[in-house]
Amino acid sequence: MRERLILRIGGYSKLMYWYRSKRPRWFWRMTSPFGKPTTRYVKEQGLEVKRGAFAGLRFPSRALGHTNYLSAKLMGVYEPDVVQFLSDHAGKAEVFVDLGSGDGFFCAGVARKASPEVIGFETNQFECKLAHELARKNGVQIETRGLATEDGLNDLPRGRLLLLSDVEGLEEDLIDPEIVPRLREATMVIETHEQFRPNVIEKLNERFSDTHDISRIFKEVPGRKSCPEVKDWSDGDFEIAAYDGHHSGDSWMTLVPKKPG
């Protein structure tokens, strides 16, 4: 409830970005519902992703207190189906683009799995710095750019494109082959924010049904058995540590170009 309230009063505002970049770690532990469970998980298990397709990805120490949903990422329960989809397709991509790249989790994870050119679009400059620290920690390179726009997408490097979009409703504006023609041949995974754009799934289906095989990924809450390292934790602490900002029923779309013939 407290985290939802924080988002409601400015979770994506410049003021909130500034606050999160400046707050001391001790203050975060005292005031955030994630503070104590995340700190405990890192103390007991370290800063390396434990399971899933991004297993072995290592976070820098500064991530504690500054990376959203850090313990869920370390447990390997942060959007596991999206992580697997990206891992399955990374080897065929020449360019990977993350719209709304945040702390660089997906960028660094894809860069470790394969060797595409990796570009993240993110307006929060503090999170861009975290993304580059994460990349350096894992011996990979990424590029970060600012606001994702039609011109920015049309100016991407050439090559087979793998694209992830998590832009809080703007997917309806940006993911359009009429304004970005190369999307007709791109492999994509798109978080659909129906709470902001009620018709976004219908519109994306209309735009890409002729060119892509389209599927849905629905969020499932992880169970205790999937993370045996926290079997002795209370239910409340586990639920907070494993929470990744999404709820059961939230969905992504996967779009894979149809094979000729």
Burial 73-83, CB ≥16 within 10 A → b, else e: bbbbbbbbbbb
CATH code of 7's domain: 3.40.50.150
Chain center to CA of 121: 12
Measure the N-to-C terminal CA separation of the chain; round to a whole number of Å. 50
* Domain count for the chain: 1
Per-residue pLDDT for the chain (261 aa), expressed as one digit of tens each?
444 444 444 445 666 666 676 778 888 888 889 999 999 999 999 999 999 999 999 999 999 999 999 999 999 999 999 999 999 999 999 999 999 999 999 999 999 999 889 999 999 989 999 999 999 999 999 999 999 999 999 999 999 999 999 988 889 999 999 999 999 999 999 999 888 788 999 999 999 999 999 999 988 888 888 899 999 999 999 999 999 887 777 889 999 999 886
Q: Distance between CA atoms of 40 and 26, rounded to whole angstroms?
A: 13
The per-residue pLDDT for 73 is: 98
The per-residue pLDDT for 3 is: 43
Q: 187: domain range?
A: 2-257
SS3 209: coil
The per-residue pLDDT for 259 is: 87
Q: Distance between CA atoms of 108 and 130, rounded to whole angstroms?
A: 11
The per-residue pLDDT for 5 is: 44
Q: Distance between CA atoms of 71 and 85, rounded to whole angstroms?
A: 21
Burial 9-34, CB ≥16 within 10 A → b, else e: eeeeeeeebeebeeeeeeebbeebeb
Who's near 185: CB < 8 A, 6+ residues apart? 160, 161, 211, 257
